[in-house]
Amino acid sequence: MRHALEQNGHTVREVDDGNAGLKESLATPADLVITDIDLPLLNGLELIATLRRWGYTAPILAVSEVQSGSASDLLFSSVLQGASAFLPKPVGEQELARMVSELLALYHTDVQHLPGLTAMQPEQPPSVSEG
């Protein structure tokens, strides 16, 4: 995803888990948050709900691998928590570019000027222990 977003001119900030995503999003708000539902420490649904509860208004795109028949459940759950949209993984580059453009167009008058995007995906287990 990072490659596709950067090729379309977006700045991407990545984190390894939901807690880091929450901190990053609140400390330095982005034009769009992309979160995987299956994040460690704070899952994507909890992240979405917490961001919305704390007044975060930027669009949030939820993505997740989908088991047969579970797509509608994940879509419903993510939207119920406050996601702006949901895409099943694997996400194609064109589909991602289209969705990002549509979401940003809803929230911005100048979609070509984007200060930053935050992409949150589980890359590897977090190396920082919470205490």
- Name all domains of the chain by residue range, CATH numbers in brackets: 2-120 (3.40.50.2300)
Average pLDDT, the chain: 76
Q: What is the pTM of this model?
A: 0.75
Which contacts of 113-116 are long-range, i.e. CB under 8 A and separated by 24 or more positions? 114/9, 114/10, 114/11, 114/31, 115/11, 115/30, 115/31, 116/10, 116/11, 116/12, 116/13, 116/28, 116/30, 116/31
pLDDT per position as a tens digit, 74-84: 556 667 678 88
Lowest mean pLDDT among 8-12, 55-59, 69-73, 94-98: 69-73
The candidate with the shortest Cα–Cα distance to 84, out of 113, 48, 42, is 48
